[in-house]
């Protein structure tokens, strides 16, 4: 298996793309630490992995708690004696234009969509750099390579996190640690609530997907998970600092 013997730490892994990524990493042989703010969701994913013969542990984690996030990653690497993969996935989507988004909303977007990834990557790097290996994957969005209408907080933070990923990549490539951004387009999960509200309801969002995405449909969590496995594995060993866009050509 591609990831046999490796250890992966995931945030926001209780549902949607995070859950699919956890299942795919475990299915390829990795031992997976499934963290989520909701303990029931994290436990359900870990149980599902175990039932399929994989290795997983569930962890309740609020990534806006810097000390808890840093400590959880370092403790996991200590328990397992290594950390090979970090998928920092947790995020937030707040819709609105400049005059509609409050300062508090922008701060919340920054804290989840940029700062939490910084804290997670910093903790993982402290383990990976001395070992001379590792793959850090940060979920951004195809909103980080284009500009969505009336989504100032989301687009600003997603562009910022791609810049951060690229900076990490060039600074640490010589130490054997790779860092890449995962940039999904529209995947049919609950995370689309912000876009749904901004577009005027579910029917309007479905119409947009059908009419504006060249491939003509939603992506699936499992399709995005294939990208996560690729970035985590040696199949992408010469790739770092890349924004891997999986969006059915919407951003083109």
* Active centre residues (catalytic): 154
Q: Residue 106: which residues within 8 A CB-CB, separation 6 or more? A: 94, 152, 153, 156
| Residues 6 or more apart in contact with residue 203 via CB below 8 angstroms | none
d(CA 21, CA 19): 5
Number of neighbouring beta carbons within 10 Å of residue 103: 7
For residues 17 and 87, give the distance between their C-alpha atoms in angstroms, rounded to a whole number: 11
| Sheet of 134-139, strand order | 55-60, 31-36, 7-10, 85-88, 134-139, 177-184, 243-246
Cβ burial, residue 19 (10 Å; 0-12/13-18/19+): buried
Q: Is 29 exposed, middle or buried (0-12, 13-18, 19+ CB in 10 A)?
A: middle
The residues near 97 (Cβ < 8 Å, ≥ 6 apart) are 150, 152
Q: Which DSSP letter does residue 113 get?
A: I
Exposed (0-12), middle (13-18) or buried (19+): which is 187, by Cβ within 10 Å? buried
Report phi then psi at 231, rounded to 5: -65, -30
């Amino acid at each position: 298996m591609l990831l046999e013997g490796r250890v992966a730490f995931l945030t926001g892994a209780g549902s949607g793309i995070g859950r699919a990524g956890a299942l795919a990493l475990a299915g390829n042989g990795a031992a997976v630490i499934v963290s989520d703010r909701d303990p029931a969701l994290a436990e359900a994913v870990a149980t599902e992995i175990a039932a399929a013969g994989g290795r997983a542990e569930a962890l309740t984690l609020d990534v806006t708690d810097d000390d808890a996030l840093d400590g959880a990653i370092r403790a996991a690497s200590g328990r397992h004696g290594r950390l090979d993969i970090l998928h920092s996935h947790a995020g937030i989507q707040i819709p609105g234009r400049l005059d509609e988004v409050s300062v508090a909303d922008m701060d919340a977007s920054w804290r989840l969509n940029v700062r939490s990834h910084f804290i997670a990557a910093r903790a993982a790097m402290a383990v990976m750099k001395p070992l001379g290996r590792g793959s850090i994957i940060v979920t951004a969005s195809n909103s980080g390579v284009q500009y969505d209408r009336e989504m100032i907080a989301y687009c600003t933070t997603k562009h910022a996190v791609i810049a951060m990923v690229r900076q990490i990549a060039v600074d640490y490539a010589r130490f054997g640690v790779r860092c890449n951004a995962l940039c999904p387009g529209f995947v049919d999960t609950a995370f689309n609530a912000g876009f749904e509200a901004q577009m005027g309801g579910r029917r309007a969002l479905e119409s947009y997907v059908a009419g504006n995405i060249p491939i003509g449909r939603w992506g699936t969590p499992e399709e995005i998970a294939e990208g996560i496995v690729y970035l985590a594995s040696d199949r992408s060993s010469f790739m770092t600092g890349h924004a891997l866009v999986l969006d059915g050509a919407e951003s083109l």
